[in-house]
Structure 1
Amino acid sequence: MTALTIRLPNSLHAKIRELAARDDISVNQFIASAAGEKLASILTVDYLRQEAAQGRRQDFDRFLQAVPDVPDEADRT
């Protein structure tokens, strides 16, 4: 495990302390969890961009044509 010193505005630190206490976890756990969530979201966007770059418009159009043309649920009522 690595130790890291960060500087936070007092107001942000106070809010993190409050939310960590509410979840009955340490400030350390709260910040580690927040960093993990941010990392996961960035990696997901990167993955989706890579996948999209490999896609072909003609394949998308072919699959889209296979979707039945039916009215929305809201239009049926």
Structure 2
Amino acid sequence: MSQYALRIPDSLAGYAKELAREDNVSLNQFIVIALAEKVSALKTEAFFRERAERANPEKALSILDSVKKIPPISGDELPG
């Protein structure tokens, strides 16, 4: 496991300590979870960006056009 010394502004550290206390976790665990959430969000964004670059809108539309036109099941209608 790696160690990294952080310099956190007092106001931000205070908020983080308060939230960690509310979640019944240590400040260290709170920071690790927050970092994991941020890394996950950025990796997810990159994944979808890469997928979008490979997209073929014409092919997707042709697939959608081939679907049978049937009314939605009761309760699945779009709002008016």
Whether TM exceeds 0.5 here: the answer is yes
Point out the more displaced range, 46-55 or 24-33.
46-55
Q: What is residue 19 of structure 2 aligned with on the other side?
A: 19
Once the 2 structures are TM-superposed, how far is the Cα of residue 73 of structure 1 from its aligned partner?
Answer: 3.2
Aligned to 2:31, the other structure's residue is in SS state helix
Once the 2 structures are TM-superposed, how far is the Cα of residue 69 of structure 1 from its aligned partner?
Answer: 8.3
| Equivalent-residue separation in structure 2 for 1:35 and 1:6 (angstroms) | 13
Q: TM-score, length-normalised on structure 1?
A: 0.83
Kindly provide the amino acid, as one letter, of the partner of residue 19 in structure 2. L
Q: 1:74 aligned to 59, 63, 79, which one?
A: 79
Gaps of 5+ in 2: 72-76
Q: How does 1:1-77 map to 2 (within 5 A)?
A: 1-65=1-65, 66=67, 68=69, 73-75=78-80
More helix per residue: 1
Once the 2 structures are TM-superposed, how far is the Cα of residue 60 of structure 1 from its aligned partner?
Answer: 2.2
The one-character-per-residue Cα deviations of 1:19-59 (angstroms, maximum 9, x if unpaired) are 00000000000000000000001000111111111111211
| Equivalent-residue separation in structure 2 for 1:12 and 1:69 (angstroms) | 54
Once the 2 structures are TM-superposed, how far is the Cα of residue 74 of structure 1 from its aligned partner?
Answer: 2.2
Kindly provide the amino acid, as one letter, of the partner of residue 35 in structure 1. L
Point out the more displaced range, 54-63 or 34-43.
54-63
Q: Give % identity.
A: 28
Q: In the superposition, relative to structure 1, how do residues 58 and 27 fare at CA in structure 2: closer, same or farther (>3 Å)?
A: same
